[in-house]
Structures are given as C-alpha cells and as structure tokens.
Structure 1
Amino acid sequence: MNNELLDNWLSLSHIQMKINNKLEIAFQDKHNITLKEFYVLYHLLLADDKKLRLQDLPDLVGLSQSAVSRLVTRLEAKNCKGLERDVCEGDRRGVYTRLSARGEEEVRKCIDTFHQIYVSAASEQNIKQELQILIKKI
C-alpha cells in the first residue's frame, strides 16, 4: 500500500506542530497571550480600520464561534486592553471587535517575537532536515 501522500501530510503537520509549540511558549512567556490570540490581533491589524465582525473571526483563526467569543472577551479584559467592541450602526445585531492602540503596539511586538522564534525553529537541524526531505518528495 502506497501511503506517500499521508506520510507527507503527517511530516508537514509534525513540522508545523513543533514550530507552533515553540511559538505558543514564546507568546505566553513574553506577551502573556496564546498563539490564537495573536492570530486574532494580527488579522485585526491587517483589516480595514483595524476592525472585523466577530462572526468573521472563526474562519480566520480556526476556532468555533463560541471559542472566538471567549477569546475576544479575554483580550478585551486583559491588562493591555488590546481589543474594543463596537456595535454595527447599520445592523444592531452585528458586533465588531477593533484593535486598540495598545493592542496594535502589542501585536507589533508579537510579530517581532514570531520572526525570532520562526527563524530559530526553522533553522534547527532536525526541522530543517525534515523539511528538506519533504520538499524533495513533493
């Protein structure tokens, strides 16, 4: 039985998991946020007016609607007050979350941390070798 596609997929997932774990630890230690919280802040940084509808966030960060709602509530309550909620003027049912100035400052620091950790992890010999083998297969 030829399981090359499955083996390639598992190898790629393994590489991503190793790097995600390193990022998660670094974000917790340096910024007191999770990797998923960073993803929310980053997507808001990229958005027009630095705001998005809450219902758009689950697809962007890979969480359920209820998990995103809890995550946004945590980010609003944390000491940095990274997010602020807005009600949509045209549709009272629509709720937006907006990146605050403090949140923007924090996400920019997190981006620096991301770069440091990613470059360090990607250059680790075992990850580098696993990635090179995978690239040759593909």
Structure 2
Amino acid sequence: MSEPRWLDAAQQRDWRAFVDGSVRLTEVMDRDLKSRHGLSLSEYEILVRLSEAPEHRLRMAELAEHASQSRSRLSHTCSRLEAKGLVKRAGCPGDKRGVYAHLTGEGFAALDRAARDHVETVRAYLVDVIAPGDLAALGRVFRAVIARIDEG
C-alpha cells in the first residue's frame, strides 16, 4: 500500500478553514431560516428547486439529485413540507412508479418571504465579506469540484 499524499501545512490550514467555515455558514443559514420562517435549509433548497422548475414541479428522483439529498431523506423532507401545505406530491401520468413534487401557491409565498431574509444572510456572512474576485474564484473552485464528483 502506498503512502498517502499528506497535505502540507498551508494546504491543511486552508482545508480546515473550508471545513470549519462551510459547516458554520450552513449552521447560520439553517438557524436563521428556522427562527424566521420555520424552514430548515434543506426544506428551503427544495422550495427553491421547485420554484425554478417548469410548472413548479419535478420528479422526486430529479429533485433528490438537484437538492443533494438521498431519495429517502427527500421523501421525509417533502412529507414535512406537505404537512405545512407548501408542497404536494402526485403521481406521474403514464408512469405508475413516478411521483412529482409540486410547489403550492402557499409554498411559493413562503419561499418569497424566506428568500428576502436568506439573501441578506448569504450577503452578510459570505458575499459582502470577501472580495468579488474571491467570490468568482470560489464559484470556479466548486464548479470544478462538482464536475470531478459527477465524473466519478
């Protein structure tokens, strides 16, 4: 077995900053959405994905992929959103096994309210604290990360 390619001190510092910062930023966004709007970050992400989809609906399998959730986790999250009246699920015409998730009018209104506060949180803790060039670099970095993961 070959020796791992260990990180040097600078790489380790930057890796740890990424891990700590991303976890803490996610916690801040989740806490803010829950306290202000009664939505978890994962619920918010589902509402966003549905709002951007044609007819405000997606097949559950496609939604799971876009929302970076397992199908099982997505099912539980959608059940909570259904109980709140924000999403409804219905069968796919012509595909007895397929299920669509639909954003309701109430769900769209809840998303609109939450998005106004969420964007301020994203600005306050990320966009406004780094240089525009660093934000562009961050976007390039994670598009490359996503591409590598998708290859693999």
- Report the CA distance shift for 1:64/1:30 in structure 2 as closer, same or farther (over 3 A): same
Aligned equivalents of 1:17, 1:74: Cα separation in 2? 24
TM-score when normalising by structure 1: 0.81
* Residue matched to 2:80: 74
TM-score when normalising by structure 2: 0.74
Give the one of 52, 60, 64 matched to 1:58: 64
Aligned equivalents of 2:126, 2:95: Cα separation in 1? 45
Aligned equivalents of 2:95, 2:9: Cα separation in 1? 50
Unaligned runs of 5+ in 2: 1-5, 142-152
Is 1:16 aligned to 2:29, yes or no?
A: no
- Report the CA distance shift for 1:123/1:58 in structure 2 as closer, same or farther (over 3 A): closer
- Would you say how many aligned residue pairs link Structure 1 and Structure 2? 128
- Cα deviation for residue 123 of structure 1 reads 7.0
Give the one of 94, 105, 121 matched to 1:117: 121
* Residue matched to 2:96: 92
- Cα deviation for residue 13 of structure 1 reads 2.8
Query: Aligned with 1:93: secondary structure?
Result: strand
- Cα deviation for residue 70 of structure 1 reads 0.6
Give the one of 80, 83, 95 matched to 2:87: 83
Aligned equivalents of 2:106, 2:44: Cα separation in 1? 14
- Cα deviation for residue 6 of structure 1 reads 4.6
| Coordinate RMSD, CA, aligned | 2.4
Aligned equivalents of 2:11, 2:52: Cα separation in 1? 34
Give the aligned residue type for 1:116.
Answer: E
Aligned equivalents of 1:43, 1:22: Cα separation in 2? 21
Q: Using CA pairs under 8 Å that are at least 6 residues apart, name the structure with larger relative contact order, 1 or 2.
A: 1
Matched-pair identity in %: 22
- Cα deviation for residue 65 of structure 1 reads 1.1
Aligned equivalents of 2:33, 2:12: Cα separation in 1? 31
Aligned equivalents of 1:61, 1:54: Cα separation in 2? 10
- Report the CA distance shift for 1:86/1:28 in structure 2 as closer, same or farther (over 3 A): same
- Cα deviation for residue 108 of structure 1 reads 1.2
* Residue matched to 1:26: 32
Query: Aligned with 1:33: secondary structure?
Result: coil
